[in-house]
Protein backbone atom coordinates (compact mmCIF):
# COMPACT_ATOMS: atom_id res chain seq x y z
CA UNK A 1 0.00 0.00 0.00
CA UNK A 2 2.91 2.37 0.65
CA UNK A 3 3.92 2.11 -2.98
CA UNK A 4 0.46 3.37 -3.97
CA UNK A 5 0.79 6.54 -1.83
CA UNK A 6 4.30 7.19 -3.15
CA UNK A 7 3.28 7.06 -6.81
CA UNK A 8 3.73 10.51 -8.39
CA UNK A 9 0.23 10.54 -9.91
CA UNK A 10 -1.35 9.82 -6.53
CA UNK A 11 0.76 12.55 -4.94
CA UNK A 12 -0.20 14.97 -7.71
CA UNK A 13 -3.89 14.19 -7.15
CA UNK A 14 -3.44 14.71 -3.41
CA UNK A 15 -1.68 18.06 -3.86
CA UNK A 16 -4.29 19.15 -6.39
CA UNK A 17 -7.19 18.24 -4.10
CA UNK A 18 -5.69 19.99 -1.10
CA UNK A 19 -4.80 23.13 -3.05
CA UNK A 20 -8.27 23.42 -4.63
CA UNK A 21 -9.84 23.07 -1.19
CA UNK A 22 -7.44 25.66 0.24
CA UNK A 23 -8.20 28.09 -2.58
CA UNK A 24 -11.92 27.79 -1.82
CA UNK A 25 -11.37 28.29 1.92
CA UNK A 26 -8.90 31.16 1.47
CA UNK A 27 -11.15 32.94 -1.04
CA UNK A 28 -13.96 32.64 1.48
CA UNK A 29 -11.73 34.33 4.04
CA UNK A 30 -10.92 37.11 1.56
CA UNK A 31 -14.67 37.47 0.96
CA UNK A 32 -15.18 37.98 4.70
CA UNK A 33 -12.62 40.79 4.89
CA UNK A 34 -13.77 42.69 1.80
CA UNK A 35 -16.82 44.93 1.83
CA UNK A 36 -18.20 43.54 -1.43
CA UNK A 37 -19.39 40.10 -2.50
CA UNK A 38 -16.85 38.84 -5.06
CA UNK A 39 -19.06 36.52 -7.07
CA UNK A 40 -22.07 38.87 -7.10
CA UNK A 41 -19.90 41.69 -8.43
CA UNK A 42 -18.27 39.41 -11.00
CA UNK A 43 -21.70 38.25 -12.13
CA UNK A 44 -22.62 41.93 -12.66
CA UNK A 45 -19.56 42.31 -14.89
CA UNK A 46 -17.36 44.21 -12.44
CA UNK A 47 -13.93 43.92 -14.08
CA UNK A 48 -12.07 45.46 -11.12
CA UNK A 49 -13.42 42.77 -8.78
CA UNK A 50 -12.60 40.09 -11.36
CA UNK A 51 -9.01 41.35 -11.60
CA UNK A 52 -8.59 41.56 -7.81
CA UNK A 53 -10.13 38.11 -7.33
CA UNK A 54 -8.07 36.64 -10.15
CA UNK A 55 -4.94 38.05 -8.54
CA UNK A 56 -5.88 36.45 -5.24
CA UNK A 57 -6.49 33.08 -6.92
CA UNK A 58 -3.18 33.29 -8.77
CA UNK A 59 -1.40 34.44 -5.62
CA UNK A 60 -2.72 31.56 -3.52
CA UNK A 61 -1.98 29.00 -6.25
CA UNK A 62 1.51 30.40 -6.76
CA UNK A 63 2.30 30.21 -3.05
CA UNK A 64 1.26 26.56 -3.10
CA UNK A 65 3.36 26.03 -6.24
CA UNK A 66 6.44 27.06 -4.28
CA UNK A 67 5.28 25.16 -1.22
CA UNK A 68 4.91 21.90 -3.15
CA UNK A 69 8.38 22.26 -4.64
CA UNK A 70 10.06 23.06 -1.34
CA UNK A 71 8.44 20.56 1.04
CA UNK A 72 8.47 16.79 1.12
CA UNK A 73 5.18 15.99 2.80
CA UNK A 74 1.58 17.01 2.23
CA UNK A 75 1.35 18.30 5.80
CA UNK A 76 4.47 20.48 5.45
CA UNK A 77 3.15 21.80 2.14
CA UNK A 78 -0.18 22.71 3.75
CA UNK A 79 1.52 24.44 6.69
CA UNK A 80 3.76 26.51 4.43
CA UNK A 81 0.79 27.34 2.18
CA UNK A 82 -1.26 28.49 5.16
CA UNK A 83 1.61 30.65 6.38
CA UNK A 84 1.99 32.09 2.88
CA UNK A 85 -1.72 32.86 2.73
CA UNK A 86 -1.55 34.72 6.05
CA UNK A 87 1.29 36.83 4.62
CA UNK A 88 -0.72 37.47 1.44
CA UNK A 89 -3.70 38.55 3.55
CA UNK A 90 -1.40 40.82 5.55
CA UNK A 91 -0.25 42.34 2.25
CA UNK A 92 -3.90 43.14 1.44
CA UNK A 93 -4.26 45.04 4.72
CA UNK A 94 -0.96 46.87 4.13
CA UNK A 95 -2.22 47.90 0.68
CA UNK A 96 -5.35 49.33 2.28
CA UNK A 97 -3.26 51.13 4.92
CA UNK A 98 -0.91 52.62 2.32
CA UNK A 99 -3.77 54.33 0.45
CA UNK A 100 -5.34 56.63 3.05
CA UNK A 101 -6.93 58.93 0.44
CA UNK A 102 -9.40 56.26 -0.68
CA UNK A 103 -10.74 52.88 0.39
CA UNK A 104 -9.52 50.01 -1.79
CA UNK A 105 -12.70 47.94 -1.35
CA UNK A 106 -14.98 50.85 -2.22
CA UNK A 107 -12.98 51.69 -5.36
CA UNK A 108 -12.93 48.06 -6.51
CA UNK A 109 -16.66 47.75 -5.87
CA UNK A 110 -17.17 50.89 -8.01
CA UNK A 111 -15.30 49.05 -10.82
CA UNK A 112 -12.22 51.26 -10.58
CA UNK A 113 -10.08 49.11 -12.86
CA UNK A 114 -6.86 50.90 -12.01
CA UNK A 115 -7.26 49.92 -8.35
CA UNK A 116 -8.34 46.41 -9.34
CA UNK A 117 -5.28 46.03 -11.54
CA UNK A 118 -2.91 47.23 -8.82
CA UNK A 119 -4.59 44.79 -6.42
CA UNK A 120 -3.99 41.98 -8.92
CA UNK A 121 -0.32 42.93 -9.35
CA UNK A 122 0.23 43.19 -5.60
CA UNK A 123 -1.25 39.72 -5.03
CA UNK A 124 0.79 38.18 -7.84
CA UNK A 125 4.00 40.02 -6.92
CA UNK A 126 3.76 39.22 -3.23
CA UNK A 127 3.05 35.56 -4.02
CA UNK A 128 6.43 35.29 -5.73
CA UNK A 129 8.22 36.94 -2.81
CA UNK A 130 6.36 34.84 -0.25
CA UNK A 131 6.91 31.66 -2.26
CA UNK A 132 10.62 32.27 -2.58
CA UNK A 133 10.83 32.66 1.18
CA UNK A 134 9.02 29.44 1.95
Q: What is the pLDDT of residues 64-76, one digit of tens each?
A: 999 999 988 889 9
The runs of H, that is alpha helices, within the chain are 2-6, 8-33, 38-43, 47-70, 74-97, 104-109, 113-133
**Band (3; pLDDT cuts 50, 70, 90):** confident
73-95: pLDDT as tens digits: 889 999 999 999 999 999 999 99
pTM value is 0.91
In whole angstroms, give the CA distance from residue 129 to residue 3: 35
Answer whether 67's CB lies under 8 Å from 8's CB. no
**What's the chain's average pLDDT?**
94
Amino acid sequence: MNTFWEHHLVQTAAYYSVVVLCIIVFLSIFELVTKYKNWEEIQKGNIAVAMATGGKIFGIANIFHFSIHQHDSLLQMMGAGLFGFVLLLLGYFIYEFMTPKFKIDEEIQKDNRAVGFISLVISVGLSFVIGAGL
